[in-house]
């Protein structure tokens, strides 16, 4: 393995560190093309594989993206600020606005696909919803995009018997979405719990979110509860981690 003259750091890592520094100090801005393999080979007197590994490090870290036939470019990072508390305010969806309205300020919001079906839910989700063994859930699957870029997959589970005949069982739930419709039938949520973790995406998630190599996903599982403590919705979300900042405001 090639290494720096006086240390043990592989040359490809040293090149990656220098390129990363150039990105951070603005020498290469969003959308700029980085030096290619031939350029790095000449500048650092290294083999092609070393140059390729250096660029691969930056791709794995999500700083750059390779465009076939064009080169490697600095990723444009305009994060979506997901305000986890404000977006769930009853004053928002209760007035007919989507919880997405908080996230989408200044963006072009699009729900790219919606499917709704009655299905047997995962056992753990069925227990949370208090469903009898073998009972069906109304399962709503959506893909959300901002400015044409897929950023989130969301799957909501609700008691199918509870929401049958309501707009919740239709692709278009109407103003205020699921929570407004639950409120109309006397089961509006008043409390929410979110569990957050991260992992690498599955091949299907990579395809549906058009993720660059090395980009992890953030998983958010939100449960909505009524005033009586009844869980009326479980929403499993898969977010492109490179697209989001998760923000939570608290008072002590």
Hey, how many other C-beta atoms are within 10 angstroms of the C-beta on 144?
22
For residue range 54-83, list pLDDT tens digits in order. Answer: 999 888 777 888 888 889 999 776 677 776
Q: Could you tell me which residue, 147 or 156, shows the higher pLDDT?
A: 156
Whether the pLDDT of residue 249 is over 90: the answer is no
* pLDDT number for residue 1: 39
| Average pLDDT of span 134-160 | 93
Going from the N-terminus, what domains does the chain have, and what CATH number goes with each? Answer: 11-74 (1.10.10.10), 80-247 (3.40.1410.10)
pTM of the model: 0.73
Q: Return the minimum-mean-pLDDT range out of 54-58, 84-88, 181-185.
A: 84-88
User: CA of 215: how far to CAs of 9, 62, 153, 201, 206, in Å?
Assistant: 25, 6, 15, 8, 9
Q: Could you tell me which residue, 243 or 154, shows the higher pLDDT?
A: 154
pLDDT bracket for residue 233 (50, 70, 90): very high
The DSSP string of 194-235 is EEEEEEPPPHHHHHHHTPPTT--EEEEEEEEE-TTS-EEEEE
d(CA 9, CA 22): 19
What residues contact residue 226 under an 8 Å CB cut-off, 6+ apart? 187, 188, 189, 190, 232
């Amino acid at each position: 393995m090639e290494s720096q003259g006086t240390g043990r750091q592989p040359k490809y890592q040293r090149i990656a560190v220098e390129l990363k520094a150039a990105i951070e100090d603005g020498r290469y801005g969003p959308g700029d093309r980085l030096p290619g393999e031939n350029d790095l080979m000449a500048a650092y007197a290294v083999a092609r594989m070393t140059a390729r590994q250096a660029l691969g490090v930056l791709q794995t870290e999500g700083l750059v993206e390779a465009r076939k036939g064009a080169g490697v470019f600095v990723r444009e990072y305009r994060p979506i600020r997901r305000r986890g508390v404000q977006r769930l305010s009853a004053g928002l969806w209760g007035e007919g606005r989507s919880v997405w309205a908080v996230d989408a300020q200044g963006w072009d919001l699009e729900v790219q696909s919606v499917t709704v079906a009655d299905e047997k839910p995962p056992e753990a989700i069925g227990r949370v919803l208090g469903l009898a063994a073998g009972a069906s859930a109304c399962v709503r699957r959506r893909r959300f995009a901002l400015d044409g870029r897929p950023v989130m997959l969301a799957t909501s589970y609700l008691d199918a018997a509870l929401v049958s005949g309501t707009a919740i069982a239709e692709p278009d739930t109407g103003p205020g979405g699921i929570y407004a419709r639950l409120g109309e039938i006397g089961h509006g949520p008043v409390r929410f719990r979110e569990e957050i973790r991260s992992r690498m995406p599955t091949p299907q998630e990579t395809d549906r979110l058009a993720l660059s190599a090395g980009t992890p996903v953030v998983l958010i599982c939100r449960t909505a509860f009524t005033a009586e403590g009844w869980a009326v919705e479980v929403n499993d979300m898969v977010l492109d981690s490179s697209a989001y900042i998760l923000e939570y405001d608290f008072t002590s």
